[in-house]
Structure 1
Amino acid sequence: MHDPIETFTSVTAAVADIVTTEPDPLAPTPCPDWNYAQLLGHVVGGDRLFARILTGQGGPPPKGARMAPDPDRPAPSPADYAASSGRLAELLSDETIRGGVYQVPVGTLPGTQVVVLRTVEHFLHGWDLAKAAGAPTGALARLADQVDGPAHGLLAAVGDKTLGERRPFGPPVELDPVPAGSEESEGADAASSGSGAGGPALDRLVAAFGRDPRWQPDPDSGYARVKEQFLGRDDVELPDGTRRGFGADGMRIGGSVFACSHRGRLMLKLPEEEVNGLIGAGLGLPLAKPGQRPMREWVLVPFDGAAGRRAERAYAFAHGNRASCQVLSAL
């Protein structure tokens, strides 16, 4: 039996590592209609609200109300997240506070269940933020079994309907088998290995609370954002629809593709060690022609909040390779 406060602090420590990646604040998340900045603002705002409730400094919002941050407000900083979650952990560590009963947005709960409620909220939204940010969820995967029992106990305590009407909770998602040999299957295999983006326990837990473990950002709008950041660069050839075949929609330097949309993901040319790192972390998939080995310097990643940063790395790598070739040709 794990100590609930230790579980809460372990979860928030894992999420703290996710938010330190500081991705594109406008990146879409699995939480419908909320971008990364809004979702992180929701989590930090929730901690501050619960701190006020636990200290008697103000009542909760009306039952069923959503804490939807202003879409134009900047995302809280990693320090804001650490401060708000740390303050809540400090309050919930007090046995007197845990012994109380509180009116919270989902109803009336004892302090012991408030700990679980905030743990589940951080866990699920931490997963949302990681998927949006392009950050690993391995730390959350290692905590999934620890969170699973209390999380389902919370559902039994307050009722599926009550939580199902509020974010971050929703109706359970059915997990369909992934066809063997597909790119999604390869990603799932990497995740299940323990070093990747998730694992069976994590998938089952987020699905039970209304998340699709295979959620990916929209590739069309994602690639449009990536291409936009390279507008105006004289050395970059943007796709104009005149090319045909593999890589026709790619961005090029000196005629060579460094980034391209491919089968719903962003295809990037990167140094081999970076490719291996992304695949090993469960953040990327290998690229290979049928019947051939994976290409050493190519990887497929989602169009998440890290896509722009990774495209810049591919641009720098391609630019460096081109400069090296020019030097060698002059010798």
Structure 2
Amino acid sequence: MRIDFDWTTIRDLDTRAVRLSVEQVDAVTTADVDRPTPCTGWSVADLLGHLVAQHRGFAAAAAGRGDDPAPWTVPHLGDAAVEQYRAAADEVLAAFAAVDAPDRPFHLPEIAPTPFPAVLAIGFHTIDYLVHAWDVAAALEREFTPDEALVDALLPVVLALPDGAERTAPGSPFAPGLPARDDASPFARLLSALGRSPEWRPAAGARTPGQAQETRAR
């Protein structure tokens, strides 16, 4: 896989994406946890469990412990979901800040059995959390306006990601790409390229029961 991220900026971009996700999660209330999300079959509670587990897993990978399954386990968050999300976000940002070289190996077992260089792993995390920030905002029907510089930096990378049969496989991080409208904004193009419909809205009164799954969101 050949994807280029700039080591001098990728951690800053990741911090922006994660902080943007924290802003959205901070708006979640106990009345929102059963709302559906753009991640098919997942409620807000399911999505938050996934997001906490991924932060903890990536933090472990940054510390050389990514092959330990425990940090990747989706937790039951209960009424402390927002607080646990904030703590996990702080944990992963601190872990990434301590990475001293772009080629430090990150073991990400949910993606591949072989390790990725740090610059690529942090790039994956950045894209994931920009999109998941929108997932939370869309589920809560909140206005979402991401940092233009963040979108501009990530869009070329997203458009270069493979979009073949592997996106339909179980555990794929994203669904097959969707066609974008001619007048689509850069962020709408990014969402469409990753299989999200920028026009997605929750059905009136919809609720999604169930527990968080130990798979990556699509």
Interval of TM-score (by shorter of Structure 1 and Structure 2): 0.7 to 0.9
**Which has the bigger relative contact order, CA under 8 A and spacing at least 6?**
2
The residue aligned with 1:20 is 26
Q: Which amino acid in the other structure matches residue 138 of structure 2?
A: K
Equivalent residue in structure 2 for 1:11, among 7, 14, 17: 17
Corresponding residue pairs, total = 193
- Native 8 Å contact 2:59 2:96 kept in 1: no
What is the DSSP-based 3-state SS (H/G/I as helix, E as strand, rest coil) of the residue aligned with 2:78?
A: coil
Asked if 1:216 is matched to 2:216, the reply is no
Q: After superposition, give the CA deviation of every residue in 1:51-108 in whole Å (9 maximum; x if it has no partner).
A: 12222335165xxxxx7847x7526533322322222222222343542123312123
Runs of 4+ in structure 1 deviating by more than 4 angstroms, as ranges, are 67-70, 159-164
Cα distance, 1:73–1:121 mapped onto 2, change above 3 Å: same
- The structural deviation recorded for 1:148 is 1.4
- Separation in 1, partners of 2:80, 2:168: 27
Match of 1:57 in 2: 65
Could you tell me which runs of 5 or more consecutive residues in structure 2 were left unpaired when the two chains were aligned. 1-5, 208-218
1:5/1:160 CA distance change after superposition, 3 Å: farther
Matches for 1:172-321 after TM superposition, within 5 Å: 172-175=177-180, 200-219=185-204, 221-222=205-206
State the alpha-carbon separation in 1 of the partners of residues 157 and 200 from structure 2: 25
When the two structures are superposed, what TM-score results if normalisation uses the length of structure 2? 0.75
Q: 1:164 to 1:124 in 2, by over 3 A?
A: farther
Consecutive unaligned residues of structure 1, counting only runs of 5 or more, are 62-66, 178-191, 193-198, 226-331
Checking the alignment, whether the CA contact within 8 Å between 1:44 and 1:76 is kept in structure 2 is no
Instruction: Name the structure with the higher strand share.
Output: 1
Give the Cα separation in 2 of the matches to 1:27 and 1:73.
Answer: 16
Task: Tell which deviates more after alignment, 50-59 or 74-83.
Answer: 74-83
Instruction: Give the fraction of aligned pairs with identical amino acids, expressed as a percent.
Output: 23
Q: Summarize the Cα distance change of 1:125–1:20 in structure 2 as closer, same or farther, 3 Å threshold.
A: same
Aligned equivalents of 2:39 and 2:117: distance in 1? 27
Larger CA Rg, structure 1 vs 2: 1
Equivalent in the alignment of 1:187:
none
- Cα distance in 2 for partners of 1:208, 1:146 equals 15
Partner residue of 1:133?
A: 140
Match of 1:106 in 2: 111
| Aligned partners of 1:125 and 1:168 also within 8 Å | no
Q: Does 1:30 align with 2:15?
A: no
Q: Distance in 2 between matches of 1:85 and 1:73?
A: 14
| Range 87-96 or range 127-136, more displaced | 87-96
- What is the RMSD computed on CA atoms of the aligned residues? 2.9
